[in-house]
């Protein structure tokens, strides 16, 4: 995934393990297996980062929600990073 | 505590350095040997108070994945709270969950808490400057970074070990966020974690913090766990290509006692999280929670003692905290409470009773133990039962020694079981023996008995009641028996011995597990008390007292067989005759009152074990003058 590409944080609702494996093969998609939740034997919820250029293609194949723009989310989070050193005496 | 912004790398380092500087008797700064690609030094902190010598260790890792910032904050906050509580003599409260001051003392004074909060400092610096990133920052060709949590040496080369139906291209592609590196342990960050484990072999629990998913996970990650087929394990190349599929014949082996303990601790961490504010993390095996896992920290931790039996068993966990990589400040503060509660509970688990039987007088329960292994002073044999073993063997600074074991007789074994945990406990002690052998494999062990020992005080010991070793069998060899004692309970289980298949393994196992000890005990090479006890009746026939002779004929018995015969003459007085038999022996002039019966007891002591194996006999003939009055024969 190129550094300048826009990425989206999404939540996939997959209907089979085959879908999961297909997404896993695409190295442009970063799947977060730790977020994986099994609804039943087939249905899976899993979060991922996807490049904006794949948005349309993936929309045609899978159901997912967009949780946010990754860079924007990170920029917001960076505001919460300490700019000082509270342990320094 | 008010929320402080996410810690940066310098701040994390300063925190650890300052904790160590401010608490010299309590905290030790550990400088990791491997610099990151960008030249940063990593630090860990050891928190350990009190005077206890033999201590278990808990390793808490954070910051492996660059963007999962909160892991470092969770660990620094935990260190800060633990240190403050211990110094102030208070407990710690995480919203709805409280740990008492006594529990904090129990943790700090009984275990070593190792906190390594920022495993991947380059990654954290990079992401906190506004870049999304997971891996470290080492260039690999045109790409950058290795996923540290795929770089451990456990089933690292996934295409070799796993079923071909599974796709692992993401592990081998340097552009992938899961790229596992050119070889296992290629990275400074994973090597630093390994260095911690190698240099602090007392570590028995290790948790790697990640986000996100609200999961508590335990090993294994390559397949479903199974407890029945030891051959199905990650080291066995026979099963290469079979791992990783659900519901098939392959399952990754785990001992039941380990599985029970792992799940029990994971459940306790879950409950500790739930008590904070009601968050219910899922608890499960890595394979079931997130799918096939190759080269990850938790599985590597647990694999170490399988790969090398001399290493101490180390339970590995992964916690995926929260529901986002960088939660909002207010939620991160809650998550810190959730996870710090779980980790404090884990430390409590580690501080629970630790049973051990010493290998030598200088053995403090530390694993691995050093010095002589074959003469445990806590395994004591006696020829006769000891009326008050607690008093007789109550001084643990001395070795009471062991009597020679008498073949053919009941012997008595006492075991001193120590507990250097922070709580009183009970245990089961199993005692085995093995004949003289070059390889004391458990396959040769013969079970003697199991005994319960209760109320072993914290930091103290208890002597078992006698374990009776009945009719000690002829070992068929010269020399000594090996008496093995193993103790355990639900918290510190009796160790599994099925992985031992060589003398070297056995010695390593004994050294590395303080639940087991053994003692070589010499046996008597004669049968001094192997008495054959034969009650019979002599009867007089005449109306007046007569004198009889008793003749013993035993041509197959050796010359020095001792025959002892008691005649019950009165209630208070027994007449005892002793003769040495030499094919034929005689006791003369036994007076029997008129027409009376005399209860007699013939005791025959045979000195040679070999002769017992022959079908020899003794004929006892009652004579008056030269005439037989009666006789009987006893076969041995």
B130 touching A, CB under 8 A?
yes
Cα→Cα distances B522→B406, B436, B528, Å: 9, 10, 15
Integer Cα distance of B62 and B618 in angstroms: 80
Fold of A7-72: Alpha-Beta Plaits (3.30.70)
The two tokens of residue B630 are: 């009666």
Would you state the structure tokens that stand for residue B146, as one six-digit string?
């290795």
- Distance of CA B626 to CAs B537, B551, B563, B631, Å? 20, 11, 21, 13
Q: Would you state the pLDDT for residue B309?
A: 77
Residue ranges per structural domain of chain A:
7-72
Q: What is the per-residue pLDDT for B636?
A: 63
Q: What is the DSSP string of B331-353?
A: HHHHHHHHHHHHHHHHHHHHTS-
CA dist A61 and A58 (Å) reads 5
Chain A residues whose beta carbon lies within 8 Å of the beta carbon of residue B180: none
Cα–Cα dist B1/B361, whole Å = 48
User: CA B616, CA B636: separation in Å to the nearest integer?
Assistant: 6
Strand partners, B206: B59, B316
Q: Are the beta carbons of A82 and B131 separated by less than 8 Å? A: no
> Could you read off the pLDDT of B132-154 as tens digits, one per residue?
999 999 999 999 999 999 999 99
Does A40 contact B at CB distance below 8 Å? no
The residues with which B635 forms a beta bridge, in sequence order, are: B617
User: Could you tell me if B87 lies within 8 Å of chain A, comparing CB atoms?
Assistant: no
A74–B127 C-beta distance less than 8 A: yes
Residue in chain A nearest B6 by alpha carbon: A81
Q: Is the pLDDT of residue A21 over 80?
A: yes
CA B147, CA B198: separation in Å to the nearest integer? 22
**Chain A residues with beta carbon closer than 8 angstroms to that of B211:** 34
Q: Do A83 and B5 touch (CB under 8 A)?
A: yes
Chain A interface mutation, best of B66, B72, B79, B290, highest count of A Cβ atoms under 10 Å: B290
Whether A16 has a pLDDT exceeding 50, the answer reads yes
The candidate with the shortest Cα–Cα distance to B450, out of B424, B476, B432, is B432
10 Å CB burial of residue B383 (0-12, 13-18, 19+) is middle
Chain B residues whose beta carbon lies within 8 Å of the beta carbon of residue A49: 132
A-B interface: how many C-beta pairs under 8 angstroms? 87
**ipTM greater than cut 0.90:** yes
pLDDT of residue B477: 58
- Count the Cβ atoms, other than its own, within 10 Å of residue B619: 14
Check residue B4 and give its pLDDT.
Answer: 62
Region of B479 on the Ramachandran plot (φ > 0 left; ψ -120 to 50 alpha; else beta): left
pLDDT at B606: 66
Residue whose pair of structure tokens reads 């199991």 in the numeric block? B450
Question: Are A27 and B10 within 8 A, CB to CB?
Answer: no
| Cβ–Cβ below 8 Å for A80 and B329 | yes
Whether residue B582 contacts residue B529, with contact meaning beta carbons closer than 8 Å, is answered with no
Enumerate the residues of chain B whose CB falls inside 8 A of the CB of residue A81: 5-6, 8, 69, 128
Does any CB of chain B come closer than 8 Å to the CB of residue A21?
yes
User: Domains of chain B, with CATH numbers?
Assistant: 9-350 (3.40.630.10), 355-522 (2.60.40.10), 531-635 (2.60.120)
How far apart, in whole angstroms, are the C-alpha atoms of residue B19 and residue B81?
11
What parts of chain B have a pLDDT lower than 70?
A: 1-4, 436-439, 475-479, 501, 503, 525-532, 541-542, 558-561, 567-574, 581-583, 595, 597, 606-616, 636
In 3D space, the residue among B535, B546, B538, B512 whose CA is nearest the CA of residue B598 turns out to be B538
Dump pLDDT digits (tens) for B487-507: 999 888 888 887 776 767 777
Partner-chain residue, chosen from B132, B176, B329, that has the shortest CB–CB distance to A70: B132
Nearest to A87 among B5, B11, B320 (CB): B11
């Amino acid at each position: 995934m190129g550094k300048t590409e826009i990425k989206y944080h999404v939540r996939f609702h997959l209907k089979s393990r085959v879908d999961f494996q297909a997404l896993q093969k695409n190295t442009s998609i970063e799947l977060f297996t730790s977020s994986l939740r099994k609804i039943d034997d087939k249905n899976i919820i899993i979060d991922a980062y996807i490049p904006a250029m794949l948005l349309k293609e993936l929309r045609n194949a899978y159901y997912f929600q967009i949780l946010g723009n990754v860079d924007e989310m990170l920029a917001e989070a960076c505001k919460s990073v300490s700019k000082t050193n509270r342990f320094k005496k | 505590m008010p929320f402080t912004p996410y810690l940066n790398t310098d701040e994390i380092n300063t925190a650890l350095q300052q904790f160590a500087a401010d608490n010299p008797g309590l905290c030790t700064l550990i400088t990791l040997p491997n610099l990151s690609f960008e030249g940063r030094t990593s630090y860990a902190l050891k928190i350990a108070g009190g005077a206890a010598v033999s201590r278990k260790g808990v390793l808490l890792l954070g910051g492996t994945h660059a963007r999962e910032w909160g892991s470092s904050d969770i660990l620094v906050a935990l260190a800060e709270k633990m240190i403050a509580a211990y110094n102030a003599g208070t407990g710690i409260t995480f919203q709805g969950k409280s740990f008492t001051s006594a529990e904090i003392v129990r943790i700090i004074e009984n275990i070593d808490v190792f906190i390594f909060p920022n495993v991947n400092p380059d990654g954290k610096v990079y992401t906190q400057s506004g870049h999304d990133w997971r891996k470290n920052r080492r260039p690999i060709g045109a790409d950058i970074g290795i996923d540290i949590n795929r770089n451990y040496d456990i089933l690292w080369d996934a295409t070799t070990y796993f079923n071909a139906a599974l796709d692992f291209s993401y592990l081998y592609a340097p552009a992938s966020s899961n790229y596992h590196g050119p070889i296992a342990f290629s990275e400074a960050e994973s090597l630093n974690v390994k260095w911690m484990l190698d240099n602090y072999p007392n570590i028995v629990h290790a948790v790697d913090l990640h986000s996100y998913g609200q999961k508590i996970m335990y090993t294994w990650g390559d397949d479903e766990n199974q407890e029945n087929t030891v051959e199905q394990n990650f080291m066995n190349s026979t099963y290469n290509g079979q791992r990783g599929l659900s519901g098939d014949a392959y399952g990754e082996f785990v001992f039941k006692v380990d599985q029970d303990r792992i799940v029990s601790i994971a459940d306790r961490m879950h409950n500790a999280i739930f008590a904070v504010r009601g968050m219910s993390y899922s608890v499960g095996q890595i394979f079931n929670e997130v799918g096939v896992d190759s080269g990850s920290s938790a599985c590597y931790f647990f694999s170490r003692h399988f790969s090398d039996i001399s290493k101490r068993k180390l339970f590995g966990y992964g916690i995926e905290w929260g529901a986002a990589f960088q939660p909002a400040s207010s939620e991160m503060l809650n998550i810190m409470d959730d996870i710090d509660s779980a980790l404090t509970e884990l430390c409590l688990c580690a501080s629970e009773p630790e049973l051990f039987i010493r290998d030598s007088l200088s053995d403090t329960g530390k694993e691995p133990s050093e010095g002589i292994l074959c003469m445990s002073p806590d395994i004591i044999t006696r020829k006769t039962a000891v009326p008050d073993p607690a008093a007789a063997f109550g001084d643990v600074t001395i070795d009471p020694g062991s009597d020679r074991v008498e073949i053919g007789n009941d012997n008595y074994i006492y075991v001193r079981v120590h507990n250097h945990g922070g709580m009183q406990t009970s245990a089961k002690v199993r005692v085995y023996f093995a004949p003289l052998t070059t390889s004391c494999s458990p396959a040769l062990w013969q079970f003697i008995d199991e005994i319960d020992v209760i109320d072993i005080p914290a930091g103290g010991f208890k002597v078992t009641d006698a374990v009776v070793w009945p009719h000690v069998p002829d070992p068929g060899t010269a020399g000594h028996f090996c008496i093995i004692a193993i103790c355990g309970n639900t918290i510190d289980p009796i160790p599994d011995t099925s992985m031992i298949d060589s003398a070297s393994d056995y010695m390593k196992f004994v050294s590395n597990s303080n639940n087991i000890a053994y003692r070589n005990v010499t046996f008597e090479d004669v049968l001094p008390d192997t008495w054959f006890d034969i009650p019979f009746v002599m009867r007089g026939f005449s109306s007046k007292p007569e004198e009889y002779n008793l003749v013993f004929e035993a041509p197959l018995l050796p010359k020095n067989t001792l025959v002892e015969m008691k005649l019950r003459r009165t209630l208070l007085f027994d007449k005892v005759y002793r003769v040495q038999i030499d094919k034929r022996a005689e006791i003369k002039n036994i007076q029997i009152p008129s027409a009376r019966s005399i209860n007699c007891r013939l005791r025959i002591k045979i000195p040679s074990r070999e002769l017992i194996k022959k079908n020899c006999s003794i004929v006892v003939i009652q004579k008056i003058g030269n005439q037989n009055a009666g006789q009987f024969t006893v076969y041995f």
